[in-house]
Structure 1
Amino acid sequence: MPRFDDTKDFLPVRIAVLTVSDTRGLDQDKSGDTLVGRIEAAGHILADRKIIRDERDQIADQLRTWCANKDIDVIISTGGTGLTGRDVSVEAHRDVYEKEIEAFGTVFTMVSMNKIGTSAVQSRATGGVANGTYLFALPGSTGACKDAWDDILQYQLDYRHLPCNFVEIFPRLDEHMRRK
């Protein structure tokens, strides 16, 4: 059961949304729209939004560009996490990660099992950290985006969430890069 520390102020997070698709434009991007709606409804800031083709190098380049932007705290991609030959988002994310958040994929699978049963094994959702930025790769379905946001990310991206959350460790994500 989610718990919150009501003595803390909400801290908005700056989030970029990347849709990975060979066929969709912004006007057909229901999964991206779903994420943007939830991000803004939660009080966070949409820092940027793009659609990019299912090309590993292009996806990784966009992730690196956003990770280098100090006005972006979190990147959420949707699409390209399946098992087909064109599904390369996970590989692109892993090309960029400094550290993978292995439990994100596990927890996402647990959430998905409750909604879609054993079909959850077909997702390779992943999370990681690079250059002080959190990155999450979600499946391209609106249902998966809702599940990831509603059951995981909305809590972990809320500074008030107990017993811990991603926001409270932002200042320490890149501590290994600072001079001692």
Structure 2
Amino acid sequence: MSHISETTAAERAFIPVRIAILTVSDTRSLAEDRSGDTLVKRLEGAGHVLADRKIIRDERGEIADQLRAWSLDPEIDVVISTGGTGLTGRDVSVEAHRDVYEKEIDAFGTVFTIVSMKKIGTSAVQSRATGGVANGTYLFALPGSTGACKDAWDEILVHQLDYRHPPCNFVEIFPRLDEHKRRK
């Protein structure tokens, strides 16, 4: 998956990414998980693979443990969580993600806010969507609303998780995400 500067986006072959979906909720079951369903439909519709899916309670340690486990699983390339990014006392997804990140993708939250502003105006300031990398795996925390999941996928992730997307994307740097751990 190395970047080849002479190729155009049209010449690149699509590379399916293996994505795990984590819904953070004290009250939802799989049957009621509309945001998780939304993400699954979109990722599969784009040609990616659902690697795993779980619902977990709003508990920082449990969320972080699941993120760590998935980030160490060689069959998972990306983890997208939904829920727990707000400002209330039970909203701990962002803190759990940051407990696991080796590097934060600061601009992900910024771009998500810009996208959200177009839809919900200044209410976008209440979201703490975030992204980062751990163990060579991308981790993203999205709000729990289906609208926010659609916006994040349709406006950001569908492009960044597509190897054909110019001028650059997350897929083309997969092989380099954990290069700092290799012996020189």
* TM-score bin, normalised by smaller chain: over 0.9
In the TM superposition, 1:69-108 aligns within 5 A as 69-108=73-112
Q: Are residues 1:38 and 2:32 paired?
A: no
| Distance (Å, rounded) in 2 between the aligned partners of 1:103 and 1:115 | 19
Name the residue aligned to 2:5: none
Name the residue aligned to 1:17: 21
| Distance (Å, rounded) in 2 between the aligned partners of 1:5 and 1:65 | 33
Name the residue aligned to 1:131: 135
Cα offset for 1:120? 0.2
Name the residue aligned to 1:65: 69
Kindly provide the CA deviation profile for residues 27-48 of structure 1, in whole angstroms up to 9, marking residues without a partner as x. Answer: 0000000000000000000000
| Distance (Å, rounded) in 2 between the aligned partners of 1:29 and 1:92 | 21
| Distance (Å, rounded) in 1 between the aligned partners of 2:18 and 2:183 | 26
Segments of 4+ moved more than 6 angstroms: none
Cα offset for 1:94? 0.0
RMSD: 0.6
Q: Which amino acid aligns with 1:34?
A: T
Name the residue aligned to 1:8: 12
Cα offset for 1:60? 0.1
Kindly provide the CA deviation profile for residues 88-116 of structure 1, in whole angstroms up to 9, marking residues without a partner as x. Answer: 00000000000000000000000000000
| Distance (Å, rounded) in 2 between the aligned partners of 1:93 and 1:114 | 26
| Distance (Å, rounded) in 1 between the aligned partners of 2:49 and 2:115 | 25
Quote the sequence identity (%): 81
Q: Are residues 1:50 and 2:54 paired?
A: yes
Q: Which runs of 5+ in 2 are unaligned?
A: 1-7
